[in-house]
Amino acid sequence: MHTYHHPIVSPCWVSWHYHKCLLAFSLYTNLVVIISDVEATFVLPLKETAVTEDEDAEFTCELSKPDAMVKWLKNGVELSASDHVNFETVGTKRTLKIHKSVLDDAATYQCQIVSSGASSQAQLTVTGMQLLSSR
């Protein structure tokens, strides 16, 4: 017959260690629980964006870990940096910038965390400029 023990640790503190491990420890025991390689998640997702043709468009999201790698997709196809589109990483924020939007930029954009496949997506709406005719 097996006997199972279910220890209860209280009070307990939780801390991040080098953004790779989750540590839980207590002053009253010698127990240390280590959960390694905690996956990054979205803290703030992408938001729908609307611009007028020739304006810059920007999508920003925030992740739970600053070292998480992401890729950007437009209608499911991975984007590459260019003069028209570029990517920025500052701490836990990830930004996609589209310079001088054109009607063809209207699409669903997605930021995908490479390690887990988790993603956030939002729609870009681009409105055409109306030409004013003089009378």
One DSSP character per residue, 36-57 reads ESPPP-EEE----EEEETTS-E
Edge-first strand order for the sheet with 21-25 is 13-17, 21-25, 32-36
Confidence of residue 16 (pLDDT cuts 50, 70, 90): very low
Q: Looking at per-residue confidence, does 59 or 1 come out higher?
A: 59
The CATH number fitting domain 42-127, selected from 2.60.40.10, 1.10.10.10, 1.10.510.10, 3.30.420.10: 2.60.40.10
Has residue 12 got a pLDDT over 80?
no
Q: Looking at per-residue confidence, does 33 or 45 come out higher?
A: 45
Say which amino acid occupies 83: D
**pLDDT over 90, % of the chain:** 65
**CA 70 – CA 15 distance, rounded (Å):** 24
| pLDDT value of position 13 | 47
> What does the domain layout of the chain look like in residue ranges?
1-38, 42-127
| pLDDT value of position 34 | 53
One DSSP character per residue, 92-112 reads TEEEEEESS--GGG-EEEEEE
Q: What is the pLDDT of residues 88-105, one digit of tens each?
A: 999 999 999 999 999 999
CB atoms within 10 A of CB 124: 21
Q: What is the pLDDT of residues 67-80, one digit of tens each?
A: 999 999 999 999 99
Has residue 132 got a pLDDT over 50?
no
| C-beta contacts of 114-120 below 8 A and 24+ residues apart | 114/68, 114/69, 114/70, 114/71, 115/39, 115/40, 115/68, 115/69, 116/39, 116/40, 118/39, 118/40, 118/41, 118/42, 120/42, 120/45, 120/46, 120/61
| pLDDT value of position 5 | 53
**CA 73 – CA 117 distance, rounded (Å):** 12
| pLDDT value of position 129 | 79
| pLDDT value of position 120 | 98
